[in-house]
Amino acid sequence: MDFYEKSLNILELPVVLDMLAAEAVTDGGKEACRSLRPSSDRLEVKNRLAETSAAKEMMVVRGSPSLSGIKDIRPSLSRADLGGSLNTIELLNIARVLQCARLVKGYTSDDKLGKSCIDHLFAALHANRFLEEKITGSIVGEDEIADSASSELANIRRKIRAASARVRDCLQKIISSPSYAKVLQEPIITMRSDRFVVPVKAECKGAIPGLVHDISASGATLFIEPMAAVKANNELRELAAKEKTEIERILAELSADCAAHAEDIASDYSYLITLDGIFARAKLSYKLNGIEPELADDKSKAVSMIPLEHYEVSVTLNGRSLLICGDQTAVYHMTSDEDAANFINAVTSVKKAVTELPEWTALPPANGGYD
């Protein structure tokens, strides 16, 4: 671990970032929060502070934007862009991003607040309600495609239901017939190898002509497909194969639609993650009752990351005493090179002693204190 990272750990920045990440609602947002690092770029710091304040004001008036449930869909989009077919879960994740983009885009549609520095992030969202509803209308569950996904699929499933009913009617007559009561292990219809069968006692194998698809573990029961049901069962197998082919075609079509809009969808995901990180900062600020600090002017000097080993130093900051002790790292703002030199000389010369340092001016937070 280098000195910079060690200093951040000593200052317990990871603890603060974990608190911040807890306020994010997406995995991407949490990751973005934990990857934040202090910046010495005045403009960047100023922009971050303004973003946090703007989000906090929005949150107080409108509540938090709906960002939950977003998954990283970029790998799926890359695969779709290469011609791959996505599965139902991947397509539903893309639909969720599109839905969030649509809802979040309308988050700033009212006139309750004036313009803010993060309005452009909302305006940049593309959304695509047509594609969103095409996916959600076609996929009703993680493993279920709706009949309405295509007219061909609806027609196939209608034929499947009819063929299934014919098979069941045929087998129902067998298990309900008194003449077969003694040969059946149980008067039920079950499935083996995707075909409807009836359980027949092994010693009565020839009583019901048909195909044996399975035998029980004990060998006492044979699962037989009666010859009267073979034709209808064959039809069911053919229809099931057609259904699978049509579902694959539907998924491929939806995947191609996503690939056609991959750039916009990926862009929406990135903007949503950015907003999640900004609103996480706003939520934490609200919980801590924080306010936006004023930045020091460009003429101020900074002594950054001074290693202080085994010391105890008393520093006076605008009339307030600050006791620094232990093996830590400190960051201080100086108003002149002379003050900075005095501070460094004093700190490096002290070992386990209290040292009076020349009074120097430090820029306090906006609330005027160091609480």
Q: What is the pLDDT along the chain (371 residues), one digit of tens a residue?
A: 577 778 888 888 899 999 999 999 999 999 999 999 988 888 999 999 999 999 999 998 888 898 988 999 999 999 999 999 999 999 999 999 999 999 999 888 776 777 889 999 999 999 899 999 999 999 998 889 999 999 999 999 999 999 989 888 888 888 888 888 888 888 888 888 888 888 998 888 888 888 888 888 888 898 988 888 888 889 999 999 999 999 999 999 999 999 999 999 999 999 999 999 999 999 999 999 888 888 876 544 444 444 444 444 444 444 444 444 444 444 444 444 555 555 555 444 443 333 343 443 343 444 443 33
Please state the domain extents for the chain: 3-128+261-287, 152-234, 299-371
pLDDT for res 111: 66
pLDDT for res 42: 87
CATH code given to domain 3-128+261-287: 1.10.1420.10
pLDDT for res 332: 45
pLDDT for res 231: 86
pLDDT for res 267: 96
CA angle, corner 265, sides to 267 and 36, nearest 5? Answer: 40
Report the distance separating Cα 186 and Cα 204, nearest Å.
13
List, in order, residues 6 or more apart from 114 with CB less than 8 Å away.
Answer: none
Residue 361's φ and ψ, nearest 5 degrees, are -95, 130
pLDDT for res 183: 86
pLDDT for res 298: 56
Count of alpha carbons within 13 Å of 309, Cβ hemisphere only? 2
Report the distance separating Cα 317 and Cα 306, nearest Å.
17
pLDDT for res 345: 52
3-state DSSP percent of the chain in helix, strand and coil, to 5: 55, 15, 30
Q: Is 300 within 8 Å of 335 (Cβ atoms)?
A: yes
Report the distance separating Cα 252 and Cα 325, nearest Å.
64
State pTM to two decimals.
Answer: 0.73
Amino acid symbol at 35: S
Report the distance separating Cα 307 and Cα 347, nearest Å.
9
Q: Is 306 helix (H, G, I), strand (E, B) or coil?
A: strand
Q: Is 329 within 8 Å of 289 (Cβ atoms)?
A: no
308-341: burial string, b at 16+ Cβ within 10 Å, e else: beebebebebeeeeeeeeeeebbebbbbeeebbe
End-to-end CA distance of the chain: 31
pLDDT for res 341: 52
Report the distance separating Cα 236 and Cα 159, nearest Å.
8
